[in-house]
Amino acid sequence: MEEINLTTLGEFIIENQKHYKSTSGEFSRLLSSIKLAAKIVNHSVSKAGLVDILGAAGDTNIQGEDQQKLDVYANDVFMKTLVNREIACGIASEEEDEFVVIKGKQGTNENKYVMLIDPLDGSSNIDVNVSVGTIFSIYKRVTKIGTPVQIEDFLQCGSQQVAAGYVVYGTSTMLVYTSGHGVNGFTLNPAIGSFHLSHPNMMFPKDGKIYSINEGNYVHFPQGVKDYLKYCQEEKDNRPYTSRYIGSLVSDFHRNMIKGGIYLYPTSSIGPKGKLRLLYECNPMAFLAEQAGGKASDGYKRIMDIKPTELHQRVPFFCGSVNMVEKAEEFMAKHPEDANYASLDS
C-alpha cells in the first residue's frame, strides 16, 4: 500500500485515546514522548559508526556490565524527554541504580504513570553493526498522586502493565507496542521522520520452527532445557528446527513473532536466576507476547504473575509461540527441582 495511506503513530495514538478516557491525554502524551525519544536515538544509532559514540563509556551499570556510549546516550535521551515534559511521575532504567522521581516544576507531580526502560538492549552488538533495541513498560502508580513515587510503584506484577513496547533499530526502525488492545507495529520513514502503521494486529503463529538460545551455555543449562533442545534437534515430525540467535532480545523476539519461534534465556550455573531482568525486559515482552497470542513463562509459571521484589531482579525467560513454549514447559515440568531458582543466591 502507498505509505502515505498508512496511519501514522500519532494518528493511531489519538484514535485510541478512547481507551484512556480518564487520563486527560496524559497517556497519549507519554506515548508521543517515547516516539520522539525513539527518533532521536535512532538518528544516533544509525550513524554510530561515523561519530565517536561507539564503544564502552568506561563505566559499568548496576549489573556490572560495561556501559556502551550509546547505552548511556539512549538512557539520557529517554530520561530527559520524560523528565523535561513531566509526563510521567517516575522512571526506572537498566542504566540507573535507583528509580528517578520526576518532580513537577511546582514541586509536585499530578501524573499517574511510571515507566521502566531498557534504553538500549543488546548493546554488545552496537560495535559490530547488529540490530539493538529499546524496551519500555508503563504502569499506573499505586501510591498517592501528587506525592513522590516510591518503589512500590515499580514493583508491580507484569499483569498490571497498561502498556509495553519496543523499538528495534534494525534494517528499518520499528516501534511495536500494546496498550492491552492487541499489538501494532509502526515503521519509521527516516526521510520524513514519521512512524507508519506497517504491521497492524501482529500475532505470534501458534507454532514455529525457530528456537533462539545461546547454546554456548549448554553444559550449564538445567536438564529440562537440555532435553528440550535435543527435542528441537531430532529428526522427527516437522523437526529438526532451525537455531537463530542474534544476541539481541528485541530482534530475536521480533523475528519469532513474525515467523513463529521460541526465545529461551534459562537459568544456568553462570546465572542461577537467568540473565534477563523481570521489570524492563521480561514483563514488557511478555505483555506483547500474550497480546499477540503467544506465551511467556520462567519455564514453570507465567512471567506476568511473578511478584517483583527488586528493581533489577533477573528471571529465566521462555517466550514465543504458545505451542513451543508449552512443549518446553513439558520438559521443565519433569524437573520441578529447578523451579526454585528465586531462592538461590545470585
Can you give the binding site for ligand P6P, defined by CB under 6 A?
Answer: 121-122, 124, 214, 247-249, 275-276
Whose Cβ is closer to ligand P6P: residue 124's or residue 189's? 124
In the block, residue with C-alpha cell 544456568 = 268
Distance (Å, rounded) from C-alpha 39 to C-alpha 70? 14
In angstroms, what is the minimal distance from the CB of 132 to ligand P6P?
A: 8
The residue among 240 and 271 lying less far from ligand P6P, judged by its C-beta, is: 271
Listed in sequence order, the residues at least 6 apart from 166 whose beta carbon sits closer than 8 Å to its beta carbon are 121, 133, 134, 135, 136, 175, 176, 177, 250, 253, 254, 284, 285, 288
To ligand P6P, the closest distance from the beta carbon of 133 in angstroms equals 7
Q: Which three cell numbers stand for residue 209?
A: 520452527
Only one residue has cell 507531580, namely 109
How far apart are CB 247 and ligand P6P at their closest, in Å?
5
For residues 113 and 253, which CB has a smaller minimum distance to ligand P6P in the complex?
253
End-to-end, the C-alpha distance of the chain in Å comes to: 51
Torsion of CA 85, 86, 92, 97, to 10 degrees: 90
- Comparison of 28 and 251: residue with beta carbon closer to ligand P6P: 251
Please report which helix (H) or strand (E) contains residue 127, including its range: none
Question: What letter would DSSP give residue 204?
Answer: -
Closest contact distance (angstroms) between CB of 7 and ligand P6P is 29
Cβ 290 to ligand P6P shortest distance, Å = 19
- 187's grid cell: 515503521
Residue 160 Cβ vs ligand P6P, minimum distance, rounded to whole Å: 23
User: Tell me, what DSSP letter sits at residue 149?
Assistant: P
Strands (E), 232-292: 242-243, 262-265
Q: Is the CB of 109 or the CB of 134 nearer to ligand P6P?
A: 134
Q: Given the complex with ligand P6P, which of 124 and 143 has the nearer CB atom?
A: 124
